[in-house]
Amino acid sequence: MQPLPKLASTVRLATIEDAPVILAMIRELAEFEKLLPEVTASVAGLEKTLFGPKSYAEVLLAEDQGEPVAFCLFFHNYSTFLAKPGVYIEDIYVRPEARGRGWGKTLFAEIARIARERGCGRIEWWVLDWNESAVEFYRQMGATAMSEWTVYRLNKEQIDKM
């Protein structure tokens, strides 16, 4: 395997000014996942929930010579078994023209650095079964599939009924 080219990159925590580009990449990801109709997020919504008085998640933004090429939205969860926080990756996305150049590994390395720095016991995320290239990428990193667990969800309508 050939070594990856050196990236003229920065990976940084996003700021409120990045909300439009974050939304653009969320939409690109949703289109790739064939879920675009489900996206109701807005710039104002991202500004409020990511950068408002109560921040619910953080975003790493990867840039190649100043151009955004990838992002990773994450937040903390908690393991009662470990009595430690964890990092949950909600979305990680590399734009098609930037794939295969090490951006995914770069984002995961930064998430791992953050997890170590914050005393986290694990990093978790979901992947769609049909996304074979992502599954293979995660396997190559040494990630373990948690196939014995089933994900459940209550949507807003179901929450409102409770």
Q: Which residues are identified as catalytic?
A: 138
User: Is beta strand 67-79 parallel, antiparallel or unpaired with respect to 84-94?
Assistant: antiparallel
C-beta of residue 10 within 8 angstroms of C-beta of residue 62: yes
Which residue type sits at 17? Answer: E
Note every long-range contact of 43-51, with CB atoms under 8 Å and residues 24 or more positions apart, other chains counting.
Answer: 43/19, 46/19, 46/22, 47/16, 47/19, 50/14, 50/16, 50/19, 50/22, 51/15, 51/16, 51/19
